[in-house]
Amino acid sequence: MTVDTLGGYAAVQLFADRAARARPGFALDAGNGAYVGEICARLDGIPLAIELAAARCRAMAPEQIASELGHRFRLLTGGARTALPRQQTLNASVSWSYDLLDEHEQALFRRLGVFTGPFPLESVQAVCGDALDRWAVLNLLSQLVDKSLVMFHPRAGWYSLLETLRLYALDRGEERGELALARDVHAAWWSGWLERHHPQAPSDADLDAIEFAYPNLRAALEWSVLTDATRSLELARDLGIYWNYANRLGDAAALGDAALDAGRQADPAAWARAAGALSYPHYWAGDTEFLSTVTAEAVNMAGEAGDLLTVARCRAIPLLEFTSVGQLRETLAMVQAAGDRWFEARTLGPLAITELHTGDPQAQAHLARLGALAEEIGSSTYRVCHRLIVALQLASAGEFRAALEHLDGVFPALDRMVSPQVCLRVLADMAWYALLLGDRPRLEQAVRRLVDAPLDWGVLRPIADALPGVMGLAPRKAEPVHLPGLYAEVVWAFLDGEPEAAPRRRTLAGAQPQPEHPMEQVGAAILAYLHGDLRDTEQSILALRLHPAEARPFFLVILAHCAADAGSHTEAARLLGAADALRERFGLQWFPRFLAAGRAEAEHATRAAMGDEHFAAAYAEGSSLDIEQMVAYALRAHGRRSRPPTGWASLTPTELHVAQHVAAGQSNPQIASALFMSRATVKTHLSHIFPKLAVTSRAELAAEATRHPPGSRGG
pLDDT digits (tens, 9 = 90+) for 318-350: 655 556 788 888 889 989 998 999 999 989 998
Checking if the pLDDT of 471 tops 90, the result is: no
Average pLDDT over residues 614-631: 87
Looking at residue 505, its pLDDT comes to 38
Average pLDDT over residues 554-571: 88
Checking if the pLDDT of 158 tops 90, the result is: yes
Checking if the pLDDT of 226 tops 70, the result is: yes
- Quote the CA–CA distance of 690 and 659 in Å, as a whole number: 10
The separation between CA 283 and the C-alpha centre of its own chain, rounded to angstroms, equals 11
**How long is the chain?**
715
Task: Give residue 378's region: left, alpha or beta (phi > 0; psi -120 to 50).
Answer: left
Looking at residue 523, its pLDDT comes to 67
CB–CB of 36/10 below 8 Å? no
**Nearby residues of 286 by Cβ (< 8 Å), 6 or more positions away:** 458, 459, 484
Average pLDDT over residues 60-89: 66
pLDDT-derived band at 572, boundaries 50, 70, 90: very high
**Nearby residues of 593 by Cβ (< 8 Å), 6 or more positions away:** 496
- Quote the CA–CA distance of 365 and 379 in Å, as a whole number: 19
- Quote the CA–CA distance of 651 and 659 in Å, as a whole number: 9
- Quote the CA–CA distance of 337 and 399 in Å, as a whole number: 37
Q: Higher model confidence: residue 16 or residue 496? A: 16
Looking at residue 237, its pLDDT comes to 95
Between 4-13, 77-86, 157-166, 272-281, the lowest mean confidence (pLDDT) is in: 77-86
**206 bridge partner residues:** none
**Nearby residues of 83 by Cβ (< 8 Å), 6 or more positions away:** none
Looking at residue 240, its pLDDT comes to 93
Query: What's the one-letter identity of residue 252?
Result: A
Query: What's the one-letter identity of residue 492?
Result: W
CB–CB of 335/312 below 8 Å? yes
Radius of gyration of the CA atoms of the chain, in A: 33
Q: Higher model confidence: residue 207 or residue 53? A: 207
Highest mean pLDDT among 223-227, 335-339, 406-410: 223-227
SS3 160: strand
Sign of CA dihedral 530, 532, 537, 538: positive
Checking if the pLDDT of 413 tops 80, the result is: no
**DSSP-based helix, strand, coil % in the chain, nearest 5:** 70, 0, 30
Q: What is the pLDDT of residues 503-514, one digit of tens each?
A: 443 333 333 444
Average pLDDT over residues 420-439: 80
Omega of the bond leading into 548 within 30 degrees of 0 (cis): yes
Looking at residue 217, its pLDDT comes to 97
Cα angle, residue 172 at apex, residues 169 and 173 outer, rounded to 5°: 85
- Quote the CA–CA distance of 518 and 360 in Å, as a whole number: 12
CB–CB of 54/18 below 8 Å? yes
Sign of CA dihedral 383, 389, 390, 391: positive
Nearest to 431 by CA among 394, 461, 473: 473
Checking if the pLDDT of 515 tops 50, the result is: no
Q: What is the pLDDT of residues 518-528, one digit of tens each?
A: 556 666 777 77
CB–CB of 582/552 below 8 Å? yes
Looking at residue 468, its pLDDT comes to 38
Task: Give residue 549's region: left, alpha or beta (phi > 0; psi -120 to 50).
Answer: alpha
Looking at residue 189, its pLDDT comes to 97
Q: Higher model confidence: residue 48 or residue 501? A: 48
- Quote the CA–CA distance of 65 and 418 in Å, as a whole number: 37
Checking if the pLDDT of 360 tops 60, the result is: yes
**DSSP-H helix ranges across 285-340:** 288-290, 296-305, 308-316, 325-337
Looking at residue 461, its pLDDT comes to 39
Looking at residue 362, its pLDDT comes to 93
Strands 151-153 and 158-160, bridge-based pairing: antiparallel
Q: What is the mean pLDDT of the chain?
A: 80
Which CA distances in Å does 108 have to 48, 138, 142, 620?
25, 10, 11, 86
**Nearby residues of 264 by Cβ (< 8 Å), 6 or more positions away:** 271
Nearest to 355 by CA among 335, 341, 370: 370
Looking at residue 502, its pLDDT comes to 41
- Quote the CA–CA distance of 35 and 625 in Å, as a whole number: 66
Task: Please list, residue by residue across 473-507, b when 16 or more beta carbons sit within 10 angstroms of its beta carbon and e when fewer do.
Answer: eeeeeeeebebebbbbbbbbbbbbbebeebeebeb
CB–CB of 559/552 below 8 Å? no
CB–CB of 186/146 below 8 Å? no
Looking at residue 604, its pLDDT comes to 92
Going along 114-271, which residue ranges are E strands? 151-153, 158-160
Query: What's the one-letter identity of residue 334?
Result: M
Checking if the pLDDT of 228 tops 60, the result is: yes
SS3 487: coil
CB–CB of 458/286 below 8 Å? yes
Q: What is the pLDDT of residues 113-155, one digit of tens each?
A: 999 999 999 999 998 876 667 778 889 999 999 988 899 988 8
CB–CB of 12/50 below 8 Å? no
Q: What is the pLDDT of residues 481-503, one digit of tens each?
A: 333 343 445 555 665 655 444 44
Which CA distances in Å does 412 have to 10, 423, 479?
32, 11, 33
Checking if the pLDDT of 451 tops 80, the result is: no
